[in-house]
Structure formats: structure tokens, C-alpha cells
Amino acid sequence: MDEIGLSVKNLSVYYSDRPAVKNVSLDFAAKQVTALIGPSGCGKSTFLRSLNRMNDLIPTSKVTGEIWIKEDDINSPSTDVVSLRQKIGMVWQRPNPFHKSIYENIAFGPRYHGVKNKKQLDQIVEESLTRAALWDETKDRLHHSALTLSGGQQQRLCIARSIAVQPDIILMDEPASALDPVSTAKIEELIGELKQDYCIIIVTHNMYQAARVSQKTAFFLLGELVEYDATDKMFTNPQKAETSDYISGRFG
Amino acid sequence: MAQSFERQKAKPHVTEEWVGRVYTLLCIFLLVATIFSMVYFVASRGLTTFFGDGVNVLELLTGIKWNPEGEPAVFGALPFIFGSFSTSILAALISAPLGFCAAVFMVEIAPRFGRKYLQPVIELLAGIPSVVYGFVGLSVIVPLFRDIFPGQGLGIAAGALVLSIMILPTITTIATDALAGLPSGLKEGSYALGSTRWQTISRIVLPTTLPALLTGIVLGIARAFGEALAVQMVIGNAPHIPRSLFESTSTLTSAITLSMGNTAMGSVHNNALWSLALILMLMTFIFVFIVRWLEGRSKI
């Protein structure tokens, strides 16, 4: 068994008492990419958002169950959400760079976690951009606005931004669905490289993408986890009829 | 019979289009004509002071003595200009942080309570007649200042305080809209990096919405600048530059409202008041241009 990065036990999420995720238990391996697939509204994004407690921001939501990182249940009320989110980065469907320079976008996180030294910040910025395969394109214009970058570059900037705070886990919510095919390919390539160091959990609508980038795949339907297995097995020999129907495009 | 798509005058929707176009054009024309005639009227009167009555422009703008009925008559409007600027800017300084914090509370901290109860209350402030503000200022703020500080209590401080309450709705409403219009992805992006709410507000929300917030402040200043009645009731109306915030002084608007009725149309004094009105109007234009410029910069 691979090392476990994140372990979810009996997780349920409710929006105003309406269940969106029902009693899901899942183990995510460290240094692997896990894809969450399923039709729209199946709860996969909601599930993802509860992993770094982003659902806390929605007043009507309620999350029950346990989410274990090593010895800590991060879903317990006593968790320090702010330091938790440093350990779990997140990337969204639409790139959301801050309205600041490229440099400041990356330095934002580290600076508020106590890195004051200019040299150290410079180094973090360079390393993060390099890891996100964006350094060569941006090194001459680090102090230009991040909004001058293309959509694909902005998305890689957002990945670099989350790497900069040195997380263990990176959550990605359809990170390439707003991008063109070339940018998508770059993001996928990047995900492949990042999995050497991070536990990556990615929500995607694109099953080819799930097949390309992930080692494990979880299929959600109507808020429930239907099937969870190694990706190649899921796509060639799914155990459940629903999974097979969805993957072969019969619904969803 | 095949339907003809050719435009014919007799078709009802063609006539309708035409009527609508003429009607809207007429409304626009009326508006533009009103604005132009007002500008023309104020400018022609206001400029007569300089070109007809021989008062020096610089003297009017920089002179500190205002004695239009004296022998010789002196027209130094600097005290009024100073009074107008100091009260409105001071009012904005008091109101801006209050308005911004109120907006943050309503949007970020207690959205449901804020939207439902606080915003209507603050917008209510905008509907209170200015004479009520002036009256409250005169019966509450002025006596309070008189007890605490040396002087009569009338002056810039009282004027600025009254104005700051009057412009609070403007600043708060615009700040609320700006905060609510911020893409939620930006805030989530900040939270996801492990920022606290305070860091998110001060480092992401505030800088991103700054142009819009400044627009609110400038509109607030513009409103304060043009407010006459409430200021006139608490400012003291002495035509000199005060040595303290609690000494009687005057603003452009209060000078105009106070004397306009007592001067003969066409007299130098009357024309000089029109010159003050011209200054007010030009300042309003400048404020509008600043707002336009800021709006051009706020591409959220």
C-alpha cells in the first residue's frame, strides 16, 4: 500500500440540510494523482472544497465526518483553518490571479507566513515559477501585472502561487476546463511532474484527462462514491454498471 | 401572398420605432440644452465680474478680504474656497474609513443581516432633508463643541461633522457595491493560501476595489462641496480664514445662499456671487472628471 496523504472517513456535506455529499470514505495516496469524475452536480467539487475547509465560507453548509492528515482530523472544530490551508493548496476552474504583479502573486502567501527577507522571497518566486514551468516566460516581466498573462499562463501562475506556500496536497477543481488544448496539455504535463512531490486531487469533467493524468480515479454519482480504483482498471474494466455507463458516454 | 420585408412607412412597428427615436432624442436634447444654458448663464454672469466690473481674477481667487459693500469694495474669495475645501475634505476623511468599514461588515462579515437591515438604514440617511441635518448640527454638535473647545462651536469642525454624516450613504453604498462585485475567486484564492480574513481584506479586497472606493469618496466630496443649507447653519458665516477648526468661517455655498437675496441683479456684489457659483461649478466638473478617470482604471 502506498503512503497515504489524506484519509477521508464518512464525509457528508449538507447545504441548508440538503445533502450534497453522502457518507464518502476515501484514501488518497501521497505523491499520486487522484481524479474525481462524475456528472455535473454529483458532489465532486463540493467534496473537494471540504478537504481544505473552503465550505466554511458558505454559511449554510455543514460538513460531517473525518478528514485525516497523518494524526490530525482536520475536520474537527479545533483545527486552525488558516495553517491547514497552507498545507493544502487549491487551484480553481477559472484562473484567479490577484490584481497584482506576477512577483507579488507568488510572494503573497510566503510573505504572510513570515518570510520577510527579500532574497529568500526572490528565491521562492523563482523556484515556484520554475516548478510551474512559467519562469522562462515571465522572468523578464516579474513586475508586470499578472492580468497581462494569457489564460493558460494565469492558471500556471495560480499553481505556482499555491506551490509557494509549500503544501503537501494540491486540490484542483477542473483546472484546465477554461483553457485551450495547448494550455491544457501544458497543465497536464505539469500535473505529471508535480505528483513526484505532492498528493494531487483533481476534479475533472474530461475523462480522457482523468485517464491521462491520474493513477487512481473515484467516480461520484448523486453525492455518493460509486467506485474507486486504479485509473487503468476503472477505464478498462469498471466493476459497476453506472461507472461503465458513464465512462462509455451513455449519460452525464 | 408572400410577405414583403421591404420597409414601409405604414407598418405599425416602423412608426413605433420612429416615434420612440424622436421622443428619446427630444429628452436628450432637453437635458443637454438645460445644462448648456445653465453653464452659459452662470459663466456669463460670473465672468462679468472680471470683464465688466474690472475685478482681477487672481485677486478674487487669492484675496483674503471679502467686503463687497465697502468703499472700495474688496472681493477676496479665498476664505470661502478654503472653507469649502477644508469642510468637504475633512468630512470625507471622517466618512471614508467609516463607510468602508461599514461596507466590509455588510458584505464580508454579516452579509445577510447587513443586506437586510443595515443597508436600508444607511440609505435612509441619504433621504433626510439637509435642513434636518443642519438643525441637528446646530442643536447638538455646535453646543457640544462650544462646551469642549474654545469658541462658539460654529466652524469647520461642526460643518465637516455634519457633512460627514450626510455623505456617509454615498461612500458606503458605492463601497458595498464594489465589495459585492468583487469576483469571489479572488477571495477564495487568498483564503486557500492560508490567509486570514484580515489579510484577505487588507491585501486583496481593499487594493482591488480601491478605484471604486476612491470614486465613492470623490462623489462624497462633490456632494459635500455643493451642500449649502446644512453647512450654512453650523459654519458661522464669517468671511475670513479661521485660525482654528472651531472658529466661525464661510464656504462658497453658504456665502452665496446668505447674500444672494440681498443683492440687486447686475450689481458688482451680485456678479461676484455668480463668480463664486462659477468656481463651484468648475470644481464639480473637475470632480466628475476625476470620477470618470478613476472608473476607467477600475477594471475588476
CATH fold group of domain B77-297: MetI-like fold (1.10.3720)
What number is the average pLDDT over the span B206-229? 92
Query: Residue B169: pLDDT band by 50, 70, 90 thresholds?
Result: very high
Tell me if B235 sits within 8 A of B250, measured CB to CB.
yes
Is the pLDDT reported for residue A74 higher than 60?
yes
User: Do residues B162 and B137 lie in contact, with contact meaning Cβ atoms separated by under 8 Å?
Assistant: yes
Reply yes or no on whether the pLDDT at B179 is more than 80. Answer: yes
**Cβ A54–B191 below 8 Å, yes or no?**
yes
Name the one residue in this structure whose C-alpha cell is 480574513.
Answer: B197
Question: Which set of grid coordinates corresponds to residue B263?
Answer: 443683492
H/E run at residue A135: helix A135-138
Q: Inter-chain contact A96–B185, Cβ cutoff 8 Å?
A: yes
**Across A39-52, average pLDDT:** 91
B186 with A83: Cβ contact below 8 A: no
Determine the average pLDDT of the residues in B201-210.
90
Phi-psi sector, B75: left (phi>0), alpha (psi -120 to 50), beta: beta
Of A179, B12, B263, B115, nearest in space to A187 by CA:
A179
| DSSP for residue B141 | I
Lowest mean per-residue pLDDT among A33-42, B41-50, B64-73, B160-169: B64-73
Residue B17: what pLDDT? Answer: 86
How many CB pairs lie under 8 A apart between chains A and B? 67
Interfacial residues of A (vs B; Cβ cutoff 8 Å): 52, 54, 57, 59, 82-86, 88-90, 92, 94, 96-100, 108-109, 112-113, 158, 161-162, 165
DSSP string, B231-289: HHHHHB--SS--SSTTS-B--HHHHHHHHGGGS-TTSHHHHHHHHHHHHHHHHHHHHHH
**Residues of A in Cβ contact (< 8 Å) with B187:** 57
CA atoms within 13 A on the CB side of B75: 22
Nearest to A230 by CA among A31, A23, A35, A8: A35
By Cβ distance, the residue of B191, B203, B208 closest to A85 is B191
Is B4 a residue whose pLDDT tops 70? no
pLDDT of residue A71 exceeding 90, the answer is: no
What is the distance in angstroms between the Cα of A249 and the nearest Cα belonging to chain B? 31
* Cβ–Cβ below 8 Å for B192 and A98: no
Secondary structure class of A114 (helix, strand, coil): coil
Phi-psi region at B199: left, alpha or beta (left = phi > 0; alpha = psi -120 to 50)? alpha
Q: Given the C-alpha cell 470620477, which residue does it identify?
A: B291
Q: Do B185 and A59 touch (CB under 8 A)?
A: no
The CATH class of A4-247 is alpha beta
Residue B199 Cα distances to A239, B35, B202, B300, angstroms: 48, 46, 5, 19
Q: Look at residue B7 in the predicted model and tell me its pLDDT.
A: 61
Neighbours of A140 (CB within 10 A): 8
Are A165 and B194 inside 8 Å of each other by CB?
yes
Q: What are the structural domain ranges in chain A?
A: 4-247
- Identify the three-state secondary structure at position A9: strand
Neighbours of B284 (CB within 10 A): 14
The string of DSSP codes covering A33-62 is EEEEE-STTSSHHHHHHHHTTGGGGSTTEE
Of B216, B228, B217, B245, the closest CA to residue B86 belongs to B245
* Contact indicator for A223, A21 with CB cutoff of 8 Å: yes
Who's near B64: CB < 8 A, 6+ residues apart?
Answer: B76, B78, B79, B240, B241
Smallest CA–CA distance, residue B196 to chain A, in Å, is 6
Written as one string, the DSSP assignment of B63-108 is ---EETTSSS-EE--HHHHHHHHHHHHHHHHHHHHHHHHHHHIIII
Across the interface, whether the CB atoms of B112 and A96 are under 8 A apart is answered no
- In this prediction the pTM is 0.81
3-class DSSP assignment, residue B36: helix
User: Strand, coil or helix: what is A26?
Assistant: strand
Mean of per-residue pLDDT scores for chain B: 89
- CA A67 vs. chain centroid, Å, equals 16
Higher local confidence (pLDDT), B84 or B110: B84
* A225 and A24 Cβ atoms separated by less than 8 Å: yes
Domain parsing of chain B, residue ranges: 12-67, 77-297
The residues of B whose Cβ lies within 8 A of any Cβ of A are 111-112, 183, 185-196, 199, 203-204, 207-208, 300
Look at residue A207 in the predicted model and tell me its pLDDT: 87
The helix/strand/coil state of A252 is coil
Residue B12 has pLDDT above 90, yes or no: no
Rounded CA-CA distance B216/B102 in Å is 14
User: Can you give the pLDDT at residue B300?
Assistant: 45
Interchain proximity A162–B208, CB inside 8 Å: no
The pLDDT of residue B14: 78
Check residue B6 and give its pLDDT.
66
For residue B82, pLDDT over 80 is answered with yes
C-alpha span between B108 and A59 (Å, rounded): 11
Inform me whether the pLDDT recorded for B122 exceeds 70: yes
Cα distance between the two ends of chain A: 32
* Torsion over CA: B236, B239, B244, B245 (sign): positive
